[in-house]
Amino acid sequence: MDPVIENYEFLSSITAQMRVAATHGQWDQLVELEKECSRHVEIMKTQDVGIPPDENTRLRKMELIRKILADDAEIRNHTEPWVAQLQRIMHSTGQERRLQQTYSSEY
């Protein structure tokens, strides 16, 4: 099998695992997989150059990229609400802290 396709297949398997972790709210697992994904992408950047692929390889690569992007969209569907909630909590905590500092310094 073409090494470029092997790389994309491996990346696709990582993003599929990330999608599952996000779906189940396994945030620590998702973070670890994201790190692995980033490392693999860096490796791929140096290897995915050179001779243009044949038509079958090009089509398979496009198919895998579409799957990776679909997984990414699904991951975002699960993580964006969580991130927004976390931002609200942090903002609220910051406001509480400022209020507490304001009122505790007056007395």
Whole-prediction pTM value? 0.73
- Cα gap 29→95, rounded to integer Å: 31
If we measure between CA atoms, which residue out of 66, 70, 91 comes closest to residue 19?
70
pLDDT at 24 over 80: yes
The average confidence (pLDDT) of the chain is: 86
pLDDT at 107 over 60: no
pLDDT tier for residue 54 given thresholds of 50, 70 and 90: confident
